[in-house]
């Protein structure tokens, strides 16, 4: 059994649901420290609600070059407690009714293995920074809480995309969410419905006026939840709606957000009610130029290990969105995992080993 596979199996057996990452973090501290890293935690628990800070480590360089940051998140989605992995036909899967935890312990294991190899090798290497975040799965909270001074590198690799190694996310969307509360007036639905103002009817009219789903190649919009009313014989005085919109185009997203907002306000006014809409920018988008040096380095490293690089844009967000907002050239890499967030999740052993190879090859090409 390869060392990186053994590390991965050890990590997935450690419970680390969102907010309870401390145990796996302490295990990672031991691994990184023994490889020669300077390791510490930041003080962000009050902001994230986790029992651990983000784990930050540096493998000091032995030669000048571009600083490379390697990042993954320590939390997993439920059900992720009591994971018992097994290896069969070249894949790692969960033996029970849990997720495997490859998202994102594939990234954690590959980073640990890369750091170990770099520390053991005679070849010179530049500084390598390791950023392992908490609470990624519930809104990128760990990355958002991270001080901007920690987000300094010439190249940042976030190991958090599914698919075979070689996939490179070069663009990700801006993402807005909203929570709206429609207010009307209650009345008896059978005796005097004309005296009531239905908040549910307002919400329905607003939703009906919105363009939803895939709006174009780069833009989506969705209504996530709707709820209100108390009984069939009461005209509902209150209705709550949540939703979102995302786009790779920074101008398009603002147009879509404005249109959704206007649909809600217009519907409320037309029916004699009101609405309060609270918008939240979950994260800004990023797009790396086709000629960026960071992209060239990663693609050269892919070819060096016998992998064909594949560039693609995603409609999902990751810690990479946050790191990119601090000015770090950031790429999110496919890490060999598939069927994530399900009990059918699996990771090909060959992909896990290939991912560690890729990280070492990137650092080697980052030398001056």
CATH of domain 174-283: 3.30.70.360
Instruction: Identify the segments of the chain with pLDDT beneath 50.
Output: none
Longest dimension (CA), the chain: 86
- CA pair distance 116, 114, nearest whole angstrom: 5
Q: Output the pTM of the full model.
A: 0.93
- CA pair distance 338, 38, nearest whole angstrom: 33
- CA pair distance 357, 12, nearest whole angstrom: 21
Q: Is 287 helix (H, G, I), strand (E, B) or coil?
A: strand
pLDDT at 216: 97
* 3-172+285-365 against 174-283: fold identical: no
Return all residues near 368 (Cβ < 8 A) that are at least 6 apart.
63, 64, 65, 66, 126
- CA pair distance 243, 87, nearest whole angstrom: 40
pLDDT at 123: 84
Q: Which CATH superfamily is domain 3-172+285-365 in?
A: Zn peptidases (3.40.630.10)
Burial label, 231 (beta-carbon count in 10 A; 0-12, 13-18, 19+): exposed
pLDDT at 368: 65
Q: What is the pLDDT of residues 210-244, one digit of tens each?
A: 999 999 999 999 999 999 999 999 999 999 999 99
Domain segments of the chain: what residues?
3-172+285-365, 174-283
Catalytically active residues, by annotation: 75, 136
């Amino acid at each position: 059994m390869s060392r990186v596979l053994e590390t991965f199996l050890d990590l997935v057996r450690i419970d680390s649901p969102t907010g309870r990452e401390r145990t796996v973090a302490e295990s990672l501290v031991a691994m990184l420290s023994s490889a020669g890293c300077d390791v510490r935690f930041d003080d962000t628990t009050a902001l994230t609600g986790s029992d651990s800070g983000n784990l930050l480590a540096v493998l000091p360089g032995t030669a000048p070059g571009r600083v490379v940051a390697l990042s993954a998140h320590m939390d997993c989605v439920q059900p992720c407690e009591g994971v018992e992995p097994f290896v069969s036909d070249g894949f790692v899967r969960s033996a029970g009714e849990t997720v495997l935890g490859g998202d994102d312990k594939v990234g954690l294991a590959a980073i640990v293995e890369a750091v170990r190899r770099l520390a053991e090798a005679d070849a010179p290497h530049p500084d390598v920074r390791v950023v392992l975040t908490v609470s990624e799965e519930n809104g990128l909270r760990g990355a958002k809480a991270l001080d901007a001074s920690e987000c300094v590198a010439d190249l940042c690799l976030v190991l958090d995309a599914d698919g075979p190694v070689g996939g490179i996310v070069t663009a990700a969307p801006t993402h807005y969410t909203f929570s709206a509360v429609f207010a009307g007036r209650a009345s008896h639905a059978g005796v005097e419905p004309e005296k009531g103002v239905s908040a549910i009817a307002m919400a329905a009219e607003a939703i009906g006026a919105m363009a939803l789903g895939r709006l174009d190649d780069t833009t989506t919009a969705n209504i996530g939840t709707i709820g209100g009313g108390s009984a069939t014989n009461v005209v509902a005085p209150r209705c709550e709606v949540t939703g979102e919109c995302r786009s790779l185009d920074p101008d398009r997203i603002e147009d879509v957000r404005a249109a959704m907002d206007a649909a809600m306000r217009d519907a409320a006014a037309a029916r004699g009610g009101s609405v309060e809409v609270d918008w939240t920018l979950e994260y800004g988008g990023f797009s790396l130029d086709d000629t960026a040096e960071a992209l060239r380095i990663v693609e050269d490293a892919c070819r060096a290990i016998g992998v064909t690089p594949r560039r693609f844009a995603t409609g999902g967000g990751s810690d990479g969105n946050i790191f990119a907002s601090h000015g770090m050239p950031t790429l999110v890499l496919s890490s060999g995992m598939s069927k994530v967030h399900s009990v059918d999740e699996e990771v090909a052993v060959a992909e896990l080993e290939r991912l560690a190879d890729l990280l070492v090859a990137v650092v080697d090409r980052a030398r001056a």
